[in-house]
């Protein structure tokens, strides 16, 4: 019993001394509750201190070797020690794409699994896509359920193949069935 008490007491001392810290711009978030103490969820979807929040994606890449003091004149300046390596600086941040299917059919999203009206999502699928990069979605009809139209503003007026460039979270909705388009 004495050993158990000693083990529990030692654990409590260790836990009381442990205070993890997370580097700014390394944790994705949708709400402040996703972030560590002293951090907030920035507009760029990354946790950071209030003075850095929303600017994580704007940080410069590190120099080829930050340990070398003698740099050439055209070498990039050293990166801030608190800077993040959460994602490559040239990678565009992702945004959400919601695909909805009305009726029976499927929608193909380039580079992702198809969204199926009969699949586990029942025609309501979410994807992470690159912001500012042209995307293509294609409505694929079933023999008894022709593609009628895109009912969302993003693709309205386009045929079964729709191309758009997302700048924020985007939704597309494909309608399948018999009858006239919306």
pTM above 0.85, yes or no: no
Task: Give the list of residues 6+ apart from residue 130 with CB closer than 8 angstroms, or none.
Answer: 91, 92, 93, 94, 95, 166
The tens digit of pLDDT for each residue in 60-98 reads 333 344 333 444 444 444 444 344 444 455 656 889 999
Residues of the chain with CATH 2.60.40: 94-176
Strand, coil or helix: 162? strand
Q: What is the pLDDT of residue 90?
A: 60
Architecture per CATH, 94-176 = Sandwich (2.60)
Q: What is the pLDDT tens value at each position of the chain, 182 positions in all? A: 555 444 444 444 343 443 345 677 777 777 777 778 888 887 777 778 888 877 776 543 333 443 334 444 444 444 443 444 444 556 568 899 999 999 999 999 988 999 998 877 889 999 999 999 999 999 999 988 999 999 999 999 999 999 999 999 999 999 999 865 54
161 backbone dihedrals φ, ψ, rounded to 5°: -100, 125
């Amino acid at each position: 019993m004495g050993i158990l008490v000693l083990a529990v007491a030692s654990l409590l001392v260790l836990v009381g001394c442990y205070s993890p810290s997370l580097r700014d711009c390394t944790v994705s978030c949708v709400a402040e509750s996703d972030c560590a103490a002293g951090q907030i969820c920035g507009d760029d979807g990354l946790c950071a201190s209030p003075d850095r929040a929303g600017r994580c994606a704007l940080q410069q890449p590190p120099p080829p070797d930050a340990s070398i003091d003698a740099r050439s004149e055209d070498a990039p300046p050293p990166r801030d020690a608190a800077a993040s390596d959460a994602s490559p600086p040239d990678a565009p941040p992702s945004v959400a794409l919601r695909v909805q299917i009305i009726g029976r059919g499927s929608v193909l999203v380039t580079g992702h699994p198809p969204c199926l009206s009969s699949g586990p999502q029942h025609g309501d699928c979410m994807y992470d896509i690159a912001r500012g990069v042209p995307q293509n979605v294609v409505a694929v009809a079933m023999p008894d359920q022709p593609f009628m139209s895109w009912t969302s503003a993003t693709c309205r007026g386009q045929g079964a193949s729709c191309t758009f460039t997302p700048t924020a979270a985007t939704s597309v909705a494909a309608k399948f069935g018999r009858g006239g388009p919306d």
